[in-house]
């Protein structure tokens, strides 16, 4: 997994702009988690301003744009999904003693006292947040026929005409006393 730790020792009071365009930040993670995500036509790109909030906290304000390809939940076709989001993320240095069970900290302090921020984890989360839970190539996607597996968006199927028609099942279950 591509780590992307940004040292925060010389961020000026008004903050500093960074831009991130290394696709590995996102792609390494979706490969590692084995997600049905693929590179889109437009590379992902993040721009973020990092502003210190006192000694041990930081505010990251930015945008993430580009595109990815997702697999449709109904027909499995890959389709282009535009990413265009703004985010605000507040990160605080955690007290390590009381933070045993929490997720991996995004902010950590090196032995020499330099604070650093895991932008890789943060940028990954911002992408995940905009992905649909049920990706659809189209709101009206008809999906695959459960009977014959044909893509009903592009093909006709004849399943409806045989005995498996659910509308006829009503009659099959009728009991004649
Ligand atoms: Zn579809
Ligand atoms: Zn069918």
3-state SS string over 118-172?
A: EHHHHHHHHHHHHCCCCCCCCCCCCCECCCCCCECCCCCCCHHHCCCCHHHHHHH
Ligand 1 centre to CA of 152 (Å) is 9
For residue 54, what is the DSSP state? S
pLDDT, tens digit, 9 for 90 and up, residues 109-138: 999 989 999 999 999 999 999 999 999 999
Ligand 1 centre to CA of 172 (Å) is 32
Backbone angle region of 12, left / alpha / beta, with phi > 0 → left and psi within -120 to 50 → alpha: beta
Q: Which of 79, 53, 168 is nearest to 131 (CA)?
A: 79
Give domain limits for the chain.
5-138, 142-177
Confidence at residue 171, expressed as pLDDT on a 0 to 100 scale: 58
Non-local CB neighbours of 100 within 8 Å, separated by 6+ positions: none
Report the run of H or E that residue 52 belongs to, with start and end: strand 45-52
Task: Give CA separation, 175 vs 163, 167, 171, in Å.
Answer: 18, 16, 9
Listed residues: CB within 5 A of ion ligand 1: 72, 74-75, 137, 141
Ligand 2 centre to CA of 71 (Å) is 21
Q: How far apart, in whole angstroms, are the C-alpha atoms of residue 79 and residue 171?
A: 41
Ligand 1 centre to CA of 139 (Å) is 8
Cβ contact 21:45 at 8 Å: yes
Ligand 2 centre to CA of 146 (Å) is 6
pLDDT, tens digit, 9 for 90 and up, residues 159-168: 865 555 556 5
Ligand nearest to the CA of 162: 2
Q: How far apart, in whole angstroms, are the C-alpha atoms of residue 7 and residue 115?
A: 6
pLDDT, tens digit, 9 for 90 and up, residues 22-58: 999 999 999 999 999 999 999 999 999 999 999 899 9
Ligand 1 centre to CA of 140 (Å) is 8
* pTM (predicted TM-score): 0.81
């Amino acid at each position: 997994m591509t780590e992307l730790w940004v040292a925060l020792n010389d961020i000026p009071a008004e903050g500093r702009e960074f831009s991130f365009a290394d696709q590995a930040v996102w792609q390494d993670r979706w490969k590692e988690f084995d997600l049905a995500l693929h590179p889109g036509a437009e590379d992902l790109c993040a721009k973020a301003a990092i502003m210190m909030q006192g000694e041990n906290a930081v505010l990251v304000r930015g945008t993430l744009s580009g595109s990815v390809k997702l697999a449709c939940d109904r027909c499995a076709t890959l389709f282009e999904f535009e990413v265009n989001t703004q985010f605000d993320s507040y990160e605080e240095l955690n007290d390590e003693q009381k933070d045993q069970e929490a997720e991996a900290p995004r902010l950590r302090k090196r032995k020499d006292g330099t604070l650093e921020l895991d932008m890789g984890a943060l940028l990954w989360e911002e992408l995940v947040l905009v992905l649909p839970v049920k990706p659809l190539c189209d709101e009206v996607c008809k999906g695959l026929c459960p009977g014959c597996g044909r893509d009903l968006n592009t093909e006709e199927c004849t399943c409806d005409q045989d005995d498996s028609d659910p509308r006829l099942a009503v009659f099959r279950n009728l009991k004649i006393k």
